[in-house]
């Protein structure tokens, strides 16, 4: 009881501070000097165990330096703490998000109608809960909790933040490609993955396939960033205590395929060499990445003006175009994942032998 009263006092104090008008350091820096591209400052906190007051103090300190997004690990309060969105954890982090004008991804075990859900909660710069993702694939031991953690019933969550589209995924979800395909289908540009383990190469595969950033925050202490090219952009190893990893992502960097783009790229780089540069060339994949070369310029916008088609758009257009010539969707008939059933409940392998299927 004493501990509960203390946590409530912490939350109340933070809310009082947050009520005071306070521009973030990020906003101050942005006003002082134009940014190159669209930089997003991310802080990933990774740790095995820490109290709410400890984490609140670290988030407060990091927020005072200027941060756009803070990520916390999966169910970091522990299995014994099951709260509503009005509980002390979300209330405390909402106050800090409002105080420092930053987004926060705070996973909790969430109580909803007497049931437990493993939820990742996205809080916006105003301290408002704007997205809640309930883990689609809880790990087996989560069913042994009391009450058990139930599988999420809804779709993945992708939210339009002011710097790009944030998608959420959790831990065991990484074993299931359909979760990350859905994040791509809904236009995620940055996926935040809170977890009890590091993930590593399996997440790298999703970044490679879907061309979004993935940022991790883990109970192992590891914090990793995967690039839109699939490259390992950063790998901060934990020490056992709370690991504070700081990353800056340029959300304006844009990836393209060579196909139908090379002549347009050549003209863009010849005419606007002071504004945009070829940052990465990947001839074996036939991909390339454009990046702004000076502040105030958007490489993505210039690419669009010169008629370049982004890689994901090219893939989608190609899939649709080839399917139309085939007369049916390859994905609907044959594609998917092991054990997948078609919408009518039938087996796609059996359906493949049925020539009269539309």
* Residues 194 and 105: beta-carbon distance below 8 Å: yes
Chain position carrying tokens 């710097």 = 163
> Residue 304's closest CA among 250, 257, 258, 268?
268
Report strand pairing: 223-226 vs 232-236.
Answer: antiparallel
- Residue 120 three-state SS: strand
| Domain ranges, ordered by start, for the chain | 38-250, 254-312
Tens of pLDDT, residue by residue over 182-223, are 999 999 999 999 999 999 999 999 999 999 999 999 999 999
Alpha-carbon span 195 to 185, nearest angstrom: 22
- The encoded tokens of residue 18 equal 């947050």
The CA-atom distances, in angstroms, between 250 and each of 79, 290, 299, 318 are 35, 11, 11, 27
The CA-atom distances, in angstroms, between 75 and each of 135, 153, 185, 260, 336 are 11, 18, 26, 46, 30
pTM above 0.85, yes or no: yes
Q: Which numeric CATH code is attached to 38-250?
A: 3.60.110.10
HEC secondary structure over 255-300:
EEECCCCHHHHHHHHHHCCCCEEEEEEECCCCEEEEEECCCCCCHH
Residues of the chain with pLDDT under 70: 1-33, 337-358
Alpha-carbon span 55 to 72, nearest angstrom: 9
Q: Exposed, middle or buried: residue 5 (CB in 10 Å: 0-12, 13-18, 19+)?
A: exposed
In the DSSP assignment, the letter for residue 237 is P
- Residue 19 three-state SS: coil
What is the chain's percent helix, strand, coil content, to nearest 5? 35, 25, 40
What is the predicted pLDDT for the residue at 136?
98
HSE value, Cβ hemisphere, 13 Å, CA-based, for 75: 24
- The encoded tokens of residue 128 equal 């408002």
Alpha-carbon span 52 to 92, nearest angstrom: 8
The CA-atom distances, in angstroms, between 36 and each of 29, 64, 238, 248, 352 are 12, 22, 30, 11, 50
In sequence order, the 6+-apart residues with CB closer than 8 A to the CB of 353 are none
What is the predicted pLDDT for the residue at 342?
57
- As beta bridge partners, residue 215 has 192, 225
Tens of pLDDT, residue by residue over 243-298, are 999 999 999 999 999 999 999 999 999 999 999 999 999 999 999 999 999 999 99
């Amino acid at each position: 009881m004493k501990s509960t009263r203390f946590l409530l006092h912490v939350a109340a104090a933070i809310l009082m501070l947050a009520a005071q008008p306070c521009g973030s350091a990020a906003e101050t820096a942005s006003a002082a000097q134009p940014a190159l591209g669209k930089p997003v400052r991310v802080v990933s906190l990774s740790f095995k165990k820490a109290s709410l007051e400890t984490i609140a103090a670290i988030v407060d300190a990091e927020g005072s330096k200027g941060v756009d997004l803070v990520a916390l690990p999966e169910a970091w309060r522990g299995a014994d703490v099951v709260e509503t969105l009005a509980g002390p954890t979300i209330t405390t982090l909402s106050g800090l998000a409002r105080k420092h004008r930053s987004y926060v991804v705070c996973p909790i075990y969430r109580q909803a109608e007497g049931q437990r859900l493993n939820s990742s909660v996205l809080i916006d710069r105003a301290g408002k809960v704007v997205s809640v993702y309930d883990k689609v694939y809880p790990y087996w031991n989560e069913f042994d909790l009391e009450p058990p953690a139930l599988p999420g019933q809804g779709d993945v969550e992708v939210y339009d933040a002011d710097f790009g589209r944030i998608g959420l995924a959790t831990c065991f979800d990484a074993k299931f490609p359909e979760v990350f395909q859905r994040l791509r289908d809904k236009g995620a540009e940055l996926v935040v993955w809170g977890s009890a383990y590091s993930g590593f190469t399996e997440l790298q595969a999703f970044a490679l396939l879907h061309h979004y950033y993935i940022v991790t925050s883990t109970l192992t202490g590891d914090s990793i960033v995967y690039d839109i090219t699939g490259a390992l952009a950063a790998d901060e190893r934990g020490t056992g205590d709370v690991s504070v990893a700081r990353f800056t992502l340029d959300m304006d960097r844009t990836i393209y395929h060579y196909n139908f783009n090379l002549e347009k790229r050549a003209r863009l780089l010849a005419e606007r060499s002071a504004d945009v540069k070829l940052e990465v060339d990947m001839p074996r994949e036939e991909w390339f990445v454009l990046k702004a070369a000076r502040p105030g310029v958007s490489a993505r916008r210039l690419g669009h003006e010169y008629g370049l088609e982004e890689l994901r758009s090219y893939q989608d257009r190609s899939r649709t175009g080839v399917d139309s010539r085939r007369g049916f969707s390859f994905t609907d008939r044959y594609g998917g994942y092991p054990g997948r059933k078609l919408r009518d409940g039938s087996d796609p392998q059996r359906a493949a032998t049925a020539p009269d299927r539309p």
